[in-house]
Chain A
Amino acid sequence: MALLPSLAPEKTIRIALIGNPNTGKTTLFNNLTGLRQRVGNYPGVTVARKSGLLKLRGGNVELIDLPGAYSLSAASLDERIVVDALCGQVSGMEAPDVVACVIDASNLLRNLFLASQVAELGIPMVLILNQYDVARRKNIHIDHKLLSKRLGVPVVKTVATRQKGTEEIVEAINSVLDNPSRMEVINWPEPVKEATKMLREAVGANTKNNLSETEIHRILFDADSAILDRLGNDTGEIRLHLGQARGILFKAGFNPMAAEALLQYEHLGGLIEGIVKHSGLAKTSRTESIDHLMVHRGWGLAIFVGMMYLVFLSVYTWASPFMDFIQSGIDWFQGMAGPWFAATPMLQSLMVDGVLEGVGAFLGFLPQIMILFFFIALLEDTGYMARAAFLMDKMFSWCGLNGKSFVPLLSSYACAVPGIMATRTIEDPKARLATILIAPFMSCSARLPVYVLLIGAFIEPVYGSFYAGLALFLMHFVGLAVAIPTAFVLNKFILKTRPQPFLLELPAYRVPRLRDVAWRMFQSGEEFVRRAGTIIFAITIIVWALLYFPRPATVGEEIRQNFIESQAQFQNTNPEAVQTSLAETDSDLAKRLEYLTDSAYLEQSFMGRIGKTIQPVFDPAGFDWKITVGVLASFPAREVIISTLGVIYSLGGDVDEGTGDLREVVANAKWQEGARVGTPVYTMPVVVGILVFFALCSQCGATLAVITKEAGFRWAVLSFTFMTTLAWLGAVLCYQIGIRLI
């Protein structure tokens, strides 16, 4: 085979943005790239990483936003991404050509730690002293020219929130590209050099990997280095040498685990000698006094509950007018489109019940997502989010989650879709995954119609409104009761979570910028539509097709014939008279025929047939084929079961859970065949079974789409399988125990 000519594009220049968390990296990134950015999902990295175009003298270069990190010791996933990205170990991403390191100007020394580690990689660097306004307020002055001279790299002062210094950054990057400058690196003492050399030889002898000096240092100094994991399974020999290398340090009087921090800080302390000047005394910080109230044992909790209630309320209630607005927009389009396609019923149904319904299905989530992210941005930018995590951590840590799971889980009580997106605020990947997997168990608002219908039809008439209310209340805890042990088991046996440290900086309180908050809000909305929208849309179309096809005209004709005959008999007239009254559109009779026809078509559609075929699976839970079809058809969204039941019971698809007709029909439904023929379908054990089923099942295409996008397809499949199995077990248990008790 002839070799194809190489199509390798001209190498693009890459610039990586790094820095400690909360230094203003994101703000700078937005300033530098403006709207020319995209969120990429690098393989193996589930948290979306951003990259954007930066205009330089010589043309556009790629600016990559790496996660915030304190050091290169890959203790957290974020740090691991930084190490891998800087070492060129992320597939599809070469090592950067320049590193721009963002530094919090009021904490110069501590922020230089990361820069100093990165310097050892030998990548040209630019230092950005951001939040210079804050430093000035604290009476801190930095001689940045002298700093630049001592470190050997350009140093720029910026105030990202006021766009100050952006051009200077661009200028500095330009100059570094023309004239690569590398930051002064630490001169390690002899024993460290010796240990490094020894380890390098051991690694060289035992793997094909060619590690940089920095990576060797990571193995040497870190308590449990992620680099070792990367080398593969056969690291026994290397570990042996690692012990010896550390022995060298130990003999020389260094604690191997503490040596790096001590030596680096000593080195850096010398470097910035005389560069930072404090004039006057720093005032007692505002943060301190606010914190006193915010995390106070009593008040702090009250404020927390108040804030979280607000967050919940906003997603649960404030979003509805917007959702109603979107829905009425869709309804309007459906009303408009209907007549256009009246000539071809198939196309009409595809447009109205498929396409438009599908568009509505994902647009409907936008208000909730955007409102939630508005609040999350507020909570994060003010610095309160870290405090909230601090307050709640104990409640979650025992089952492997952490305080940051609280907001996503709370939001999931309104809707799991924004809730799962909110897990992005959890840095620990396993805690994040566990939170994603249990979020759909929270009783979301889409379950409410199912609860209301069944409780209204069966529990209220029998036990009265008090118990109906109680039942509705209790239903909200069924999922939670299952979720907590699930999280526990998940962490203990499946994710095998090593307890992750909850080391969290409590950033200073800040007044958020509306621009950043709005940005975050719109970005989350846009991302949802772009990433999950197509999947949700596709699911709607597929389910529509399963419900629509096959549709032989003969079925409709037969129904019509029978209907006319029975009506004629019933009204004591001739069939022609019935036909004329049927011809009047909108007559009651025409509606009834239409509903009967819809019902007949549904029964013999693919979905109806599948439902009938797999009904035996649900038989142990006492579900008849109609409930089974309802369950299947509600795969795109739980509440769809209501309209499906409406169609099945020939009431049309416009029924809602409060409709008396549907309640009545359901309450009177009888088995039409099989062993239970003639007895009511919806006995109390069956009703409780359906309630439990819908509390636990995974009938929500949007949730699965979002899990796919946030965690991967594998986890979406697992989530679906697990929840469906649990839901089935729950329903079967309710029924089997129920029939033995009653």
Chain B
Amino acid sequence: MLKLSNLSIGIKARVKAIDAKKSVDQRLMVMGLLPGMDVKVVQVAPLGDPIAIEFQGRRVSLRRAEASGVLLESVA
């Protein structure tokens, strides 16, 4: 299963579902990351964590563990 936490840098993917179990998941949705949207990892911090993602022209940084609730599907 492709998750946002292990999406490679620079690859675009589409949000299939969000677990919405943790408050981080809820917060991501509030910030506008919803199923059906495209998302991309744009940067990885020097120590491998956190990552910076981009969706809808917004850049957000979060730790990998916090990104694990976002399930993705690849876009052709």
Q: Which residues of B, 2-42, contact A by the 8 Å Cβ criterion?
A: 18, 20-32, 34-35, 42
Closest residue of chain B to A224 (Cβ to Cβ) is B23
Q: Give 3 closest A-B pairs by Cβ, nearest first.
A: A257-B20, A261-B29, A394-B47
In the bound complex, do residue B59 and residue A503 qualify as a contact, i.e. CB atoms below 8 Å apart? no
Q: Give chain A nearest CB distance to B48 CB in angstroms.
A: 7
The answer to whether B46 and A502 touch across the interface, beta carbons within 8 angstroms, is no
B43 beta carbon closer than 8 Å to chain A: yes
Residues in A with CB closer than 8 Å to B27 are 70-71, 73, 75, 501, 503
Q: Please tell me if the beta carbons of A261 and B46 are within 8 angstroms of each other in the complex.
A: no
Is there a chain B Cβ closer than 8 Å to A351's Cβ?
A: no
Q: Which of A188-231 contact B (CB under 8 A)?
A: 221-224
CB closest chain-B residue, reference A257: B20
| Complex: A222 Cα to B63 Cα, angstroms | 21
* A71 to B23 alpha-carbon distance, docked (Å): 12
With a 10 A CB-CB cut-off, give which of A282, A505, A506 has the most chain B CB atoms. A506
Known contacts A110-B31, A110-B32, A255-B20; decide if A300 and B46 are in contact (CB<8 Å). Answer: yes
A503 to B28, Cβ gap below 8 A? yes
Q: List 7 A-B contacts (CB under 8 A).
A: A71-B30, A107-B58, A261-B30, A390-B45, A502-B61, A506-B59, A506-B60
Give chain B residues whose Cβ lies under 8 Å from the Cβ of A7. none
Question: Complex formed: what's the CA distance from A501 to B26 in Å?
Answer: 11
Out of B25, B26, B59, name the residue touching A291 (CB < 8 Å): B59
Interface residues of B (CB under 8 A from A): 18, 20-32, 34-35, 42-50, 52, 56-63, 66
CA A715 – CA B46 in complex, angstroms?
Answer: 34
Contact at B24–A394, with CB atoms within 8 Å?
no
The CA-CA distance from A136 to B25 in the complex, in Å, is 32
Distance in angstroms from B27 CB to nearest chain A CB is: 5
User: Chain A residues near B20 (CB, 8 Å)?
Assistant: 223, 255, 257-258
Question: Which of A109, A282, A300, A502 interacts with B32 by CB under 8 Å?
Answer: A109
Instruction: Tell me which residues across on chain B come within 8 A of A258, comparing CB atoms.
Output: 18, 20, 25-26, 29
Q: Mark A273-302, 1 if CB is under 8 A from B, else 0.
A: 000000000100101100100010100110
A386 within 8 A of B: yes
B28: chain A residues within 8 A (beta carbon): 503
Within 8 Å CB of B26, what residues of A?
A: 73, 75, 221-223, 257-258, 260-261
C-alpha gap A258/B33 in the complex (Å): 11
Q: When chains A and B are docked, how far (Å) is the Cα of A261 from the Cα of B32?
A: 8
**In whole angstroms, what is the CA distance A113 to B52 when docked?**
23
Q: How many A-B residue pairs have CB under 8 A?
A: 124
> Besides A265-B34, A393-B63, 12 other CB < 8 A contacts?
A73-B26, A75-B26, A107-B32, A223-B23, A257-B20, A258-B26, A261-B30, A291-B59, A394-B45, A394-B46, A501-B66, A506-B59
Q: Are A502 and B30 in contact (CB under 8 A)?
A: no
Q: Does A222 lie within 8 Å of B23, measured CB to CB? A: yes
Please measure, in the bound complex, the distance between the C-alpha atom of A503 and the C-alpha atom of B56, giving whole angstroms.
16
Beta-carbon contact of A501 and B24 below 8 Å: yes
Chain B neighbourhood of A285, CB < 8 A:
57
**Chain A residue contacts of B56, Cβ below 8 A:** 110
Evaluate contact between B60 and A503: CB separation under 8 angstroms: yes
Roughly how many angstroms separate A287 CA and B42 CA in the complex, as a whole number?
Answer: 12
Is there contact, CB below 8 Å, between A223 and B46? Answer: no
A397 interfacial by beta-carbon distance below 8 Å: yes
A255: nearest chain-B partner, CB-CB: B20
Report chain B residues within 8 Å CB of A397.
49, 63
Tell me whether B59 and A223 are in contact (CB under 8 A).
Answer: no
Interface string of A108-140 (1 = CB under 8 A from B): 011001000000000000000000000000000
Q: B interface, by DSSP: helix, strand, loop or mixed?
A: mixed
Q: Is A307 an interface residue, CB under 8 A from the partner? A: no
Q: Which residues of B contact A223 (CB under 8 A)?
A: 20-23, 25-26
Question: Among the listed B22, B24, B61, B66, which residue makes an inter-chain contact with A386, where contact means beta carbons less than 8 Å apart?
Answer: B61
Q: Report A-chain residues with C-beta under 8 Å of the C-beta of B52.
A: 291, 295, 390, 506
Task: Select from chain A the residue with minimum beta-carbon distance to B43.
Answer: A295
With most chain B CB atoms within 10 A of its CB, the pick from A222, A258, A262 is A258
Chain A contacts for B58, CB-based, 8 A = 107, 110, 505
Question: Are A394 and B50 in contact (CB-based, < 8 A)?
Answer: yes
Could you say which residues of chain B place their CB within 8 Å of the CB of A71?
Answer: 27, 30
CB of B47 within 8 A of CB of A73, answer no
CB distance from B9 to the nearest CB of A (A): 10
Q: Using Cβ atoms and an 8 Å threshold, which residues of chain A touch B48?
A: 394
B60 touching A502 by the CB < 8 A rule?
Answer: no
A514 proximal to B (CB < 8 A) = no
Interface bits A392-418 vs B (CB < 8 Å: 1, else 0): 011101000000000000000000000
Inter-chain contact B34/A503, CB cutoff 8 Å = no
A391–B63 CA distance with the chains assembled, in angstroms: 11
Q: Across the interface, which residues of B come within 8 angstroms of A300, CB to CB?
A: 46
- Residue in chain B with minimal CB distance to A397: B63
A504 proximal to B (CB < 8 A): yes
Are the C-beta atoms of B31 and A295 separated by less than 8 Å?
no
How far in angstroms is the closest Cβ of chain A from B5?
13
Task: Give the interface centre of B21, B27, B58 by most chain A CB atoms within 10 Å.
Answer: B27
A503 and B45 contacting across the interface, CB-CB below 8 Å: no
Q: In the complex, which residues of chain B have a beta carbon less than 8 angstroms from the beta carbon of A73?
A: 23, 26-27, 30
Contacting pair A257 B21 (CB below 8 A): yes
How close is B60's CB to chain A, nearest CB, in angstroms? 5
Contacts of B47 in A (CB 8 A): 394-395
Q: How far in angstroms is the closest Cβ of chain A from B26?
A: 6
A297 contact set on B, CB distance < 8 A: 44, 46
Residue of B nearest to A392 (CB): B45
- In the complex, A386→B59 CA distance in Å? 11
Q: With A and B bound together, what is the CA distance between A109 and B49 in angstroms?
A: 30
* Contact between chains at B22 and A504 (CB < 8 Å): no
**Which of A285, A297, A390 has its CB near the most chain B CB atoms (within 10 A)?**
A390
| Contact assessment for B59 and A287 in the assembled complex, using a CB-CB cutoff below 8 Å | yes
Residues of A within 8 A of B23 (CB): 73, 75, 222-224, 501
Indicate if the CB atoms of A262 and B34 lie closer than 8 Å: yes
Question: Which of A260, A389, A502 has the largest number of chain B CB atoms within 10 A?
Answer: A502
Min CB distance, B8 to chain A, in Å?
Answer: 14
User: Which B-chain residue is minimally distant from A117 (CB atoms)?
Assistant: B30
Partner of A506, one of B21, B29, B32, B61: B61
Contact of A503 among B24, B35, B43, B46 (CB under 8 A): B24
Cβ–Cβ contact A70 & B31, under 8 A = yes
Of A73, A503, A504, A505, the most chain B CB neighbours within 10 A belong to: A503
A291 with B61: CB separation less than 8 A: no
- Complex interface: chain A residues within 8 A of B44 (CB): 297
Contact with B along A162-176 (1 / 0, CB 8 A): 000000000000000
Q: Hey, what's the 0/1 contact readout for A69-102 against B, CB within 8 Å counting as 1?
A: 0110101000000000000000000000000000
The residue in chain B whose Cβ has the minimal distance to the Cβ of A259 is: B20
What A residues does B66 contact at CB under 8 A? 501-503
Contacts of A394 in B (CB 8 A): 45-50
Q: Given the complex of chains A and B, what is the CA–CA distance between A506 and B53 in angstroms? A: 9
Contact B34 A390 (CB under 8 A): no
Q: Which residue of B lies closest to A294 (CB)?
A: B43
Whether the pair A502, B62 counts as a contact (CB closer than 8 A) is: yes
Q: Which residues of B are found within 8 Å of A504, using beta-carbon distances?
A: 60-62
> B18 contacts A505, CB within 8 Å?
no
Say whether B21 contacts A502, CB under 8 Å: no
Query: Does the CB pair A113–B30 fall under 8 Å?
Result: yes
B contact residues around A109 at 8 Å (CB): 32
